Amino acid sequence: MNKLYGLLGHPVGHSMSPLMHNDAFTHLGMKGYYHAFDVPEVELKEAVDAFRLLNISGFNVTIPHKVAIMNLLDEIDEEAVMIGAVNTVVNMDGRYIGYNTDGRGYLTSLLKTIDRPLHECNVLVIGAGGAARGVATVLANEGVALLTIANRTITKAIEIKDNYQSYRHANITVVSMSEAEDNLGLYDIVINTTSIGMSPNVNDVPISIQHAKPSVVLSDLIYNPILTKWLIQGEAKGLKTHNGVGMFVEQGALAFQLWTGKYPDTERMTELVRKQLGGFTC
Ligand code: NAP
């Protein structure tokens, strides 16, 4: 019998997760089917109750439910608790266990791009929303040399730092956007986790790269467009760049592995996503 998996979000019409996961089930010869469920915030509890009733084998959770889902689960993995959000739920003998694969997915993708150990890298995270929490937590857990967070609303960056340090010690600093811009030369990896660069802000950049060091890696979580204006500026300057396609694929692959015990072919997944986005190189 087919096992049913899903995505809970609102809206979900644009999601490439069904394409990616259903192809992986077929490619691996597994009986699984993944469907995107469009569920508004007020119906989240009913949707999870219905999933339990139908014994849904596992699901992803996306905007706007990544935090609210946590109260509806039976157990939450330690890193997801530290991040404060869940994007993957596994049905373990009728109990729903929450995980967060966004941060680990990002890390797996980043490690394919950088050629220095993370513990030697000073990292600047721009932004302090949900995605920043996952990325910052995992990078701090990996032990980067310095982790700095800058955000338009600085109190949100301070919240991420304080939250992390309530669990573990790490060298985390918070700076204003203008301080980050002036001191950009300090950083080996600069990560844009804001939505600046995606529609409707495709002509904006999150931070000036005027003071970036030549060996810096510019990393943008955005994958649509595949190359944001910021990454195009970086490439024009000869800087190494890294886009969000890898994170999207790897977070999905890690979720698939949690559900099935099998790690899917991520090159195949990347190719599918790339084609769906219009065939650009990524
Ligand atoms: P979010 O929780 O809404 O956070 C948005 C962040 O962007 C906040 O830091 C916000 O700053 C900042 N921001 C938004 N508009 C801004 C503006 N005009 N000027 C300055 N700062 C602005 O969103 P999220 O879930 O973290 O997602 C952020 C981005 O990551 C999105 O582009 C999303 O597509 C991408 N993402 C990619 C993946 C992937 O798999 N590749 C996964 C998750 C997310 P304030 O705090 O000041 O409002």
Let me know: does 149 contact 161? Beta carbons within 8 Å. yes
Residue 158 burial class via C-beta count within 10 angstroms: exposed 0-12, middle 13-18, buried 19 and up: middle
Helical H segments across the chain, by residue range: 17-27, 44-53, 78-83, 102-111, 130-142, 154-165, 177-182, 229-236, 245-260, 266-276
- In angstroms, the Cα distances linking 56 to 24, 43, 94 are 18, 17, 9
Residues within 6 Å of ligand 1 by CB: 102, 127-132, 151-153, 156, 193-196, 198, 221-223, 244, 247-248, 251
Find the 63 Cα to ligand 1 centroid distance in Å: 11
Find the 47 Cα to ligand 1 centroid distance in Å: 26
Range list for CATH 3.40.50.720 in the chain: 104-243
> Average pLDDT over the chain, rounded to whole?
96
Architecture in CATH for domain 104-243 = 3-Layer(aba) Sandwich (3.40)
Q: What whole-number distance in Å separates Cα of residue 216 and Cα of residue 189?
A: 6
Question: What is the block-wise mean pLDDT of the chain (282 residues), using blocks of 10 residues?
Answer: 94 94 98 98 98 97 96 97 96 97 98 96 96 96 97 97 94 97 98 96 97 98 95 98 98 98 97 83 36
Q: Known binder of ligand: residue 154?
A: yes
Q: What whole-number distance in Å separates Cα of residue 146 and Cα of residue 281?
A: 31
CA nearest to 134, candidates 103, 110, 100: 103
Q: How many CB atoms lie within 10 A of CB 29?
A: 6
Q: Known binder of ligand: residue 130?
A: yes
Residue nearest to ligand 1 atom 43, measured at CA: 131
Range list for CATH 3.40.50.10860 in the chain: 3-100+246-277
What pLDDT, in 10s, does the model give residues 22-34? 999 999 999 999 9
Find the 129 Cα to ligand 1 centroid distance in Å: 6
Rounded to two decimals, the pTM is 0.95
What pLDDT, in 10s, does the model give residues 36-77? 999 999 999 999 999 999 999 999 999 999 999 999 999 999
Q: How many residues does the chain have?
A: 282
Residue nearest to ligand 1 atom 21, measured at CA: 152
Catalytic residue annotation: 66
Q: Which helix (H) or strand (E) holds 14?
A: none
Q: Let me know if domain 3-100+246-277 sits in CATH 3.40.50.10070.
A: no
What pLDDT, in 10s, does the model give residues 107-126? 999 999 999 999 999 999 99
Q: Known binder of ligand: residue 148?
A: no
